[in-house]
Amino acid sequence: MFAPHSTGPGAFVASVWEAATIRSEFVFIVSTAGEQLRRMVRNKQRLMVESSASAIPARAAAAVAFALALAGCNAKNAYVPPPPAKVVVAQPVEQPATLYFELTGNTAPFNSVDLVARVQGYLKSVDYKDGAMVTKGTKLFGIEQDQYRAQLDQANAALATAEAQQAYNQAEYQRQSTLGRQDFASQATVQQSKSNLEQSSASIQNAKAAIELANINLGYTDVRAPFDGIATHHLVDAGALVGVGGPTKLATVVQTDPMYVYFSLSEPQVLQIKESNAKAGIPFRTTDLSTIPVEIGLQGEDGYPHKGHMDYASPQVDQSTGTLLVRAVFENKDQILLPGLFVRVRTPIRRLEKALLTSNDAIGTAQEGSYVLVVGPDNVVQRKVVRTGERQGQLRIVESGLDPNDWVVTEGLQRAFPGAKVDPQKAKLASLDPNGAAGGPRQAPAQ
């Protein structure tokens, strides 16, 4: 835009003139753009005024029509409350119920025996498959028998020697006795022959005992199952020397049908049983317990599906733990129970002929204790503090604080609170099964 740089006064004047020309052009452009912008603003304002003028009659007409409508219906702008919340209510059920002790215990085998090598020798054979079912008398291990057969033969030979000696002594005694009666033998000789005869008889008895002992030791070389059960894996391989310095454990046989369950009663529970039995006129006993039912459930099982009976109770309370050891026995033909399992145990302690029960889900807890929400005749919710007892399936015994005619809120508890008006939907709680606590309550329309 500028001319090439030059020196001198003339060149300076030319540069100043050119800069002034550029400034005047820029001012003209800015003023022209401003004029166009002001013109556009004036046109926009005129259009808005015209539009407002045309819309005024329409808005006025609408306002008049709305006022006439309000005047015609004469309505007031009042608050309309929402309808009452719907809740399900049911009356408690009255029926007999059994009270239980709910405890924990562990299963144990009916029989469990370690098989050991009672004689010394090399293990010749393992005659079963690890974990197999075995019957009583089945041979499970074999120990070398050569030494013990030789001992048996030696004992038999000793017996034969003793018997031959006895025959000779018997004949010698008879001869000396005859000579003694004829005064041809002294009484000392006769007595000596009699003593020799008696010693030979004793030698025979000793030899027979040695034979019996040899037979026993020979029998120990065959290790057999003492009862029907399951044999664990063998602990010693064939070829190993066993019985050195004492018995060597070979395996274990476990009988799992029937199955024992051991559990403990605390001292207060024992006293409670004694008190309950006294009220019923039943003596407290620790023997003849087969009439007392016991139920158990495994982890992951619902309820107590396995039924058995009490088998044993310790005659004394353990002072170190303050508990009484109790044992129950259960059939296990299907082998569902395994030794060592943790189980939930339930045993009855008392039966209530007339118990009041309601849904366990309807019972809440606050600082003052357990409570239920009931709906009165005016459909207003009230809160009642109750004292609860044992749970029976999905129901729970209410010992006090609730009347049989109360309508207890069982569903929709989140929509009910004391003082609120509700729309109760009456239902009927299903009764317990005869066993006392199986399925939960089923709600059906009230009759």
| Size of the chain, expressed as the number of residues it contains | 447
Neighbours of 323 (CB within 10 A): 17
The phi, psi pair for 113, rounded to 5°, reads -130, 135
pLDDT tens per residue across span 248-290 = 999 999 999 999 999 999 999 998 888 887 877 777 777 778 8
pLDDT at res. 211: 94
C-alpha 178, offset from chain centre: 89
Longest dimension (CA), the chain: 196
Position 170 confidence tier, pLDDT thresholds 50, 70, 90: confident
The yes-or-no verdict on residue 300 having pLDDT over 80 is yes
Residue 176 CA to residue 182 CA, distance in Å, equals 10
Position 444 confidence tier, pLDDT thresholds 50, 70, 90: very low
Helix (H, G, I), strand (E, B) or coil at 440: coil
- Going by the DSSP 8-state scheme, the letter that residue 380 receives in this structure is B
Protein fold of 113-253: OB fold (Dihydrolipoamide Acetyltransferase, E2P) (2.40.50)
Neighbours of 355 (CB within 10 A): 23
The yes-or-no verdict on residue 309 having pLDDT over 70 is yes
Residue 400 CA to residue 325 CA, distance in Å, equals 34
Helix (H, G, I), strand (E, B) or coil at 131: coil
Q: Which helix (H) or strand (E) holds 255?
A: strand 248-266
Neighbours of 206 (CB within 10 A): 14
Residue 237 CA to residue 156 CA, distance in Å, equals 33
pLDDT at res. 337: 94
Name the CATH superfamily for 101-107+256-351.
Efflux pump adaptor protein, beta barrel domain (2.40.30.170)
Residue 333 sits at the vertex; the CA angle it makes with 328 and 334, to the nearest 5 degrees, is: 115
Domain at 88-97+352-445: CATH code: 2.40.420.20
Neighbours of 125 (CB within 10 A): 14
pLDDT tens per residue across span 21-66 = 555 554 455 555 556 656 665 665 565 545 544 544 555 455 545 5
